[in-house]
Amino acid sequence: MYKKSYSTFLTISFLACFTVFLHSPILAEETQETAYDSVEERRIFALMELERQELQQDRQNLELRENELKTLEASVDNKIKEIDNKLEKLKTLQRKIEKLLAEKSNQEKERIENLSAIYEKMVPARAALAMSRIDPVLATDILANMKPKAAARILDMLDKQKTSQLSSTFTTIQLE
C-alpha cells in the first residue's frame, strides 16, 4: 500500500516538475528560436530584439537625462532664490543708506541755517572777515540762507575778489 502511494506521489511530482520546466522562460526562448520557419524570420526577430534593446537603452538614457535636468533645475531654482534674497538685502541696505543720507542732508541744512542766523546777527565787518576764511561753498550756502539785506552788507565788506568768487559759486550752485 505504501509502495503504490509512493510511486503515485513520485509520478505526480515528476509530471509537475516537467510541466514547470516546459513553461520556464529559458525553455520558452529556446523554443522560440527553434520555432522559426526560415532564416529570414530569425533575422527579422533578431533585428526586432536588437531594436527593443536599443529602445530600452534609449529609455534608460532619457530617464538619466531627465533626472540630471531635474537636479539642475532644482540647483538653478536654489541659486535664483539666493540671488533674490541677496537682492532684497541690497535693496534694504540701499533704503537705509538713502534714509541716512537724507537725515545727514537735513542735519547739514539745519546747521547751515543756524550758522546763517549767527552770521546775520554779527557785525557785518566781523562776519565778512570770518566768511573770507571759510570754504566758498559753505560761505555761499550761509549767504543763501540769510536775509538779502544782511547778505548784501556782508558782501559789501568783503574784498572784490572774494565777492566775485562767492557770487560765481552761488550762481554755479543755483544752476546745479
Domain-wise residue ranges, the chain: 38-104, 122-176
Predicted structure pTM score:
0.51
Per-residue pLDDT of the chain (176 residues; tens, 9 = 90+): 445 565 666 566 555 555 555 555 554 454 445 577 888 889 999 999 999 999 999 999 999 999 999 999 999 999 999 999 999 999 999 999 999 999 999 999 999 999 999 999 999 999 999 988 888 889 989 998 999 899 899 988 888 888 888 888 878 765 55
CA atoms of 121 and 117, how far apart (whole Å): 6
Rounded CA-CA distance 109/103 in Å is 10
Cα 165 from Cα 139, distance rounded (Å)? 10
Please identify which residue in the block is written with the cell numbers 532619457: 62
Decide if 142 contacts 116 (C-beta within 8 A): yes
- Report which DSSP code applies to 122: S
Task: State how far the Cα of 163 lies from the Cα of 158, in Å rounded to an integer.
Answer: 6
Neighbours of 165 (CB within 10 A): 16
